[in-house]
Amino acid sequence: QVQLVQSGNEVKKPGSSVRVSCKGSGDIGDTFIKYAIGWVRQAPGQGLEWMGGIAPLFGTPQYAQKFQDRVKMIADRSTGTASLELSRLTSEDTAVYYCTRTSIAVPGSGPAYYFYFMDVWAKGTTVTVSS
Amino acid sequence: DIVMTQSPDSLTVSLGETATINCKSSQNVLDTSKNEHFLAWYQQKAGQPPKLLIYWASTRESGVPDRFSGSGSGTDFSLTISSLQADDVAVYYCQQYYSSPLTFGGGTKVEIK
C-alpha cells in the first residue's frame, strides 16, 4: 500500500517562501510513473483548494491560475519525491497543505495530461504565516 | 472555472437512517466520448486528510462500504449514505475533474441526531 509522507509543519514570516516535500513510501510501485502528484490546501475551518500538480513522468507541472506566479512544483521519479514551493507568503496562505496521488489521463503521445481524482492523500503539513 | 455547489451545508441524521448530499456543477461534467461524469466524492473526518469514496460519479473506491453510493448526471449529483453509522460523521466534498482547475464543493457536514 502506497503512502505519501510530508515534511514537518512550518511557521513563516509574511513575504517569505515555504517548501513542503512529499515522499512516497511502502509499495509505491508505479505511483511516480503512471500518476501525478497533486497539491491541495485547506485553510483553517475552510474547504479544499486545488493548487496544481505534476506528473513525474513528464516533469511539466500545471498550476491553478491563482498561484501561477508564485508556486513551483517539482517531482523526481527516481527518488519518489515531490515538493511544493510557495513564495511571497501572506496570512491568507495559512493552511494545511496536502500532497496527493492523482490519477491522470494522457490523451496522446506528447507531454499533455489531465488530472482526475485523488486516491492517496498524505497527512498534511501545516503552514502558518505570521509576523 | 467550474463552480461546485453543495447542499445542504450540514445534515443531522439518526443512526440507521439515510443521508443524501447534493452537488451541482456550474456546467456539464459529462465527457460524451467516454460517457462518464468527471465527478468524485471525498470524506474528511476531523483532523484527517480527505479520503476518496466515489469517482466517475458512481464507482466506489476499493474498500468503501456499499452503503455509500453516488448518482446523478449532467450537472446534478448526489451522494447517499444508507444505514448511517457513527463512523460516518465527517465532512463530505464533491470534486469535478472535467476541466482545470480542479474544483471542490464547499462541503457538507454530516452529524448524528
d(CA B58, CA B92): 15
Residues in chain A with CB shorter than 8 Å from the CB of B55 are 103, 116-117, 119
Confidence (pLDDT) at A111: 74
Q: Hey, is B44 helix, strand or coil?
A: strand
Residues of chain A in contact with residue B50, where contact means CB-CB under 8 angstroms, are 40, 48, 98, 118, 121
Beta bridge partners of residue A98, listed in sequence order: A40
pLDDT at A28: 85
From its phi and psi, is residue B63 left (phi > 0), alpha (psi between -120 and 50) or beta? left
Provide CB contacts within 8 A for B84, sequence distance 6+.
Answer: B13, B14, B15, B16, B17, B18, B19, B67, B110, B112
Pairing relationship of beta strands A125-129 and A10-12 according to DSSP bridges: parallel
Provide, as residue numbers in chain A, all residues whose Cβ is less than 8 Å from the Cβ of B42: 48, 118
Within 8 A of A103 by CB-CB distance, chain B residues are: 55
* Residue B79 to residue B69: CA distance in whole angstroms: 6
- Cβ neighbours of A22 in B, within 8 Å: none
Q: Does B58 touch chain A (CB under 8 A)?
A: no
What is the per-residue DSSP string for A35-68? EEEEEEEE-TT---EEEEEE-TTT--EEE-GGGT
Average pLDDT, chain A: 95
pLDDT tens, chain B, 113 aa long? 999 999 999 999 999 999 999 999 999 999 998 899 999 999 999 999 999 999 999 999 999 999 999 999 999 999 999 999 999 999 999 999 999 999 999 999 999 99
User: pLDDT tens digits for A111-126?
Assistant: 789 999 999 999 999 9
A62–B contact, CB cutoff 8 A: yes
CB atoms within 10 A of CB B23: 27
Query: Measured on CA atoms in the order A109, A115, A117, A119, is the torsion positive or negative?
Result: positive
B46: closest chain A residue by CA? A45
Q: Which A residues, 68 through 127, put their C-beta within 8 Å of a C-beta on chain B?
A: 98, 103, 114-119, 121-124
Kindly calculate the radius of gyration of chain A based on its CA atoms and give it in whole angstroms.
Answer: 14
Alpha carbon A71 to its chain centroid, in Å, reads 10
State whether A119 and B52 contact (CB < 8 Å).
yes
Chain B, residues 34-53, CB within 8 A of chain A, namely 38, 40, 42, 48-52
